[in-house]
Structure 1
């Protein structure tokens, strides 16, 4: 197959050497701001057979202009029959290869990167009887419960990864590998015993090939459907602490809040709890972020699409809870909307977060989660925060300002004054910058003093929420 047309290079992304965040190869801070996308969804469907490349380019330019830096994408999307990457196994579909050639070139043009996972395991599982890997169709695997146990299937998976590494692995557009989407005991005989060995196989295969071809390798993770940490707690060793993986990622779902939101506050509180739980598992210098979340039960099972006004606030609150609690970026929404697109309001929220990120030096930020340790004078605020010995991020979300049947925040709620105490900051002077998350603007800068390793300051006129960046003054 003909090699792809060369396109502008982007610096590769790597984990910061002394902080649980990401940097470019030339040392600039880089944060994954984005969402899950798919090659069959409205904004990218024009890639296939080059049906509408100008529309795809316009979409990617729009994302770049709104602070988006990263898309999470599956190499194929198995909900239908015409987007398989291989058919039959080992024969890579020319239309799909050209689709990815075009997408890599367009992403390079607009400075966007891709978190790439090789299989759409959700639809592959549900529509296994149609998938080319099915032995009944000439594939290597006798049953979906053997995907990650069958030696022939593992060899086919590695061959797919080899093709992708050789064709696109030299590009900085490839941010990182999600080596297997939502690895699950069901994929390996209903046992979690092979989690670590499979992760080792896939990781070593990709890294060894990249090192041989390019002299360096892209970051790696393996994702899981978050709730299986409660049914199979042993998988945490692989997902969070596997020595060959570079960062940790889980998918934030919770049946009572995130999956089926009744208001825009409870899901954010749950996200703060899930980030703290994840960071307790994760080594200090390893980045963590949620790479999939959204109102899946409401959309998939109840066939309901959230109203944009509600969904925008739900989205905005989740991303700030995620980032302020110590995860990298705002998390990656699975749209769970009809059609599968994010709203303009969500894009604005991403743009505003990108502005706030400029207030912190992430490449040296050795954060620890302080959601439970930060003290506030007003009990009507949920607290999300993280800090090291020079910087801190705090986000306060009011819990008693819901209106419209107690679903949305009331922007006209009476303003409150709240004193904040952030522990663990060495004595000295700090610059405190407050940020309006809805408007995307800095509110004020003030100076605070830390005494007895507690930095104390007072915020006035807080109606719904406020984000705070705290930096030690030299």
Structure 2
């Protein structure tokens, strides 16, 4: 059924890559390049049939796609999360029939990898869009009724023949594009779920081991090294099904390099009424997730957004509200110890991020040089803050990040209202003695002040809204 290794479509000679591969270091909860430079995932989710990338299909408008990638680069974006097959529509199947890779799709990915190499953009790639595969199972090439290997998607994680199909797809993909540093990492399985294994999480560890080990063998043979690997989960399952063994394979599987979940918290992140509560839940969940990790591997959210508001209630947030909601969430994610600012799923009409969100990503990217990420062995900080102020922090003996937000200043729209400055004082745990503090305007993306003080008494004049601090021991 599946193409052999000597098939002309898969027989791609090794090519030099202009981009360094991304890797991790033992005990460091952030990413680095092969040469040891810091690299931070700033990005979001996109799809090959959404407006910004639609020009790839049948090479309809490659210059427009390249222009888009350059615009992302200028906004500080370093990575896009994509699905190799986005099965919302039948004309984007990666295989048709099962095991026959569609030439137009192969050309699409050839072009995208070439453009990413040229621009300097990286991809977090997952092989299967599990949501639309399930929703449109009647038409999917893997459906046994269509000549595929699988009777029903409830057996997708346990069916041996389907396992072979997944391995064949990953084998094809890495032999053709895995030479490239534009591939940041593999999300081996998008939103692994008990429903895909007969309503059991027991098969998760063995499924991850089988797919991971296979891909590493192929990559080692083809490239002499392996890309980073993770597996994602629809985050609410952790809270809806606490009796299931979900945490061990997600946060501690020995063959995964970093951990990720999709943080769609009910009532705040998935259906926001103000721009403060979603950020507080994001920071809390990031801290709880990091606490589940035992080896300091990096953690990041790889999907979040107002999914319930958009998908179920059929409402798109006002751009001004959404921009502030987005900005607060990304700073909470970073300050709580996540790598980068989290990866938004647009949940907008059309499915693109606003210019305000791109500006927020650019602002975050300008903050990053204030921290030496290559030696930042962060731990969560417990901050003692006055009433009306909340925030998150992480740090070690030499550095810290703190993000503060006023919690009682939302107007009837749920957005922050400008008020006068407020003076507050707090202690930075974990760092002793003299420190240098840099205050940072998260909206304007610029440094405000630098000063030295003692870590036991950081005194700031906090403007309206929120404020980020980068702290280094003197």
Instruction: Calculate the TM-score normalised by the size of structure 2.
Output: 0.96
Q: Paired residue for 1:392, among 391, 400, 405? A: 400
- CA separation of 1:284/1:395 partners in 2, compared to 1, >3 Å: closer, same or farther? farther
Q: For 2:154 and 2:168, how far apart are their aligned partners in 1? A: 20
Which deviates further from its counterpart, 384-393 or 14-23?
A: 14-23
Decide whether the 8 Å contact of 1:32 with 1:328 is kept in 2: yes
1:52-451 correspondence runs (5 A): 52-230=61-239, 231-232=241-242, 233-370=244-381, 373-376=382-385, 378-403=386-411, 405-410=412-417, 412-425=418-431, 427-450=432-455
Q: Which digits, 9 at most, give the CA deviation of each residue in 1:7-54, with x for residues without a partner?
A: 752000001344100000011000000000100000000000000111
Q: For 1:436 and 1:385, how far apart are their aligned partners in 2? A: 16
SS at match of 1:422: coil
SS at match of 2:184: strand
Decide whether the 8 Å contact of 1:66 with 1:348 is kept in 2: yes
Decide whether the 8 Å contact of 1:225 with 1:250 is kept in 2: yes
Q: For 1:170 and 1:131, how far apart are their aligned partners in 2? A: 29
Instruction: Calculate the TM-score normalised by the size of structure 1.
Output: 0.96
Decide whether the 8 Å contact of 1:7 with 1:108 is kept in 2: no
SS at match of 1:290: strand
User: Could you tell me which residue of structure 1 aligns to residue 3 of structure 2?
Assistant: none
Q: For 1:147 and 1:227, how far apart are their aligned partners in 2? A: 21
Q: For 2:329 and 2:22, how far apart are their aligned partners in 1? A: 25
Q: For 2:377 and 2:466, how far apart are their aligned partners in 1? A: 25
Q: For 2:467 and 2:35, how far apart are their aligned partners in 1? A: 33
- CA separation of 1:348/1:185 partners in 2, compared to 1, >3 Å: closer, same or farther? same
Decide whether the 8 Å contact of 2:27 with 2:295 is kept in 1: no
Q: For 2:462 and 2:238, how far apart are their aligned partners in 1? A: 40
- CA separation of 1:4/1:112 partners in 2, compared to 1, >3 Å: closer, same or farther? farther
1:8-47 correspondence runs (5 A): 8-47=17-56
Q: Which digits, 9 at most, give the CA deviation of each residue in 1:145-164, with x for residues without a partner?
A: 00011100000110001001
Q: For 2:24 and 2:368, how far apart are their aligned partners in 1? A: 17
User: Is there any run of 5+ residues in structure 1 with no aligned partner, and where?
Assistant: none
User: Is there any run of 5+ residues in structure 2 with no aligned partner, and where?
Assistant: 1-7
Cα deviation, residue 406, structure 1: 4.9
Decide whether the 8 Å contact of 1:18 with 1:364 is kept in 2: no
- CA separation of 1:89/1:134 partners in 2, compared to 1, >3 Å: closer, same or farther? same
Q: For 1:456 and 1:284, how far apart are their aligned partners in 2? A: 32
Cα deviation, residue 456, structure 1: 2.3
Q: For 1:293 and 1:339, how far apart are their aligned partners in 2? A: 17
SS at match of 2:92: coil
Cα deviation, residue 420, structure 1: 1.9
RMSD of aligned Cα (Å): 1.2
Cα deviation, residue 83, structure 1: 0.3
Q: For 2:18 and 2:192, how far apart are their aligned partners in 1? A: 31
Q: Which digits, 9 at most, give the CA deviation of each residue in 1:221-258, with x for residues without a partner?
A: 00000011120441100000000000000000112100
Q: Which digits, 9 at most, give the CA deviation of each residue in 1:183-228, with x for residues without a partner?
A: 0010111111101000001110111111122121111000000011
SS at match of 1:409: coil
Decide whether the 8 Å contact of 1:34 with 1:68 is kept in 2: yes
What is the count of residue pairs matched by the alignment? 463
SS at match of 1:155: helix
Cα deviation, residue 397, structure 1: 0.7
Q: For 2:384 and 2:347, how far apart are their aligned partners in 1? A: 36
Q: For 1:109 and 1:7, how far apart are their aligned partners in 2? A: 12
User: Could you tell me which residue of structure 1 aligns to residue 468 of structure 2?
Assistant: 467
